[in-house]
Amino acid sequence: MSKLNVHLPESLHRRAQSLAQDDGVPLDQFIATALAEKVAVLDADTYIRQRAARGNREKFDRVLAKVPDVAPEEQDRLSACNGD
């Protein structure tokens, strides 16, 4: 485990402390979890961009052309949004 000293604005420190207390966890655990979530999001974004760069539209179209052109089954249909 590493130790890190971080300077935070007072308002952010108070808010993080409050949220950690509401969550029932120590502030350091709350901050470590928040950082882990942010790192996971950035890693996922990088992975998706790398995968997208390897994509090939012609191959995609060839695979999609193999899908039968039939109406979806009732449970798979999308219903129109009526504003409810």
pLDDT in tens, 45-69: 999 999 999 999 999 999 999 999 9
With respect to residue 42, please indicate whether it lies within any of the assigned structural domains.
yes
In a domain? residue 43? yes
pLDDT at 83: 53
Whether residue 44 lies inside any domain: the answer is yes
* CA dist., res. 25 & res. 30, Å (int): 6
Q: pTM (2 decimals)?
A: 0.62
Q: Which domain holds residue 55?
A: 27-65
**Domain count of the chain?**
1
Of 33, 22, 30, 17, give the one whose Cα is nearest residue 9.
Answer: 17
Six-digit token string for 33: 């979890």
* pLDDT above 80 for 82: no
Residue range 24-45: average pLDDT?
Answer: 97
33 domain-assigned: yes
Residue 20 has pLDDT above 90, yes or no: yes
Percent of the chain at pLDDT exceeding 90: 81
Is 37 domain-assigned?
yes
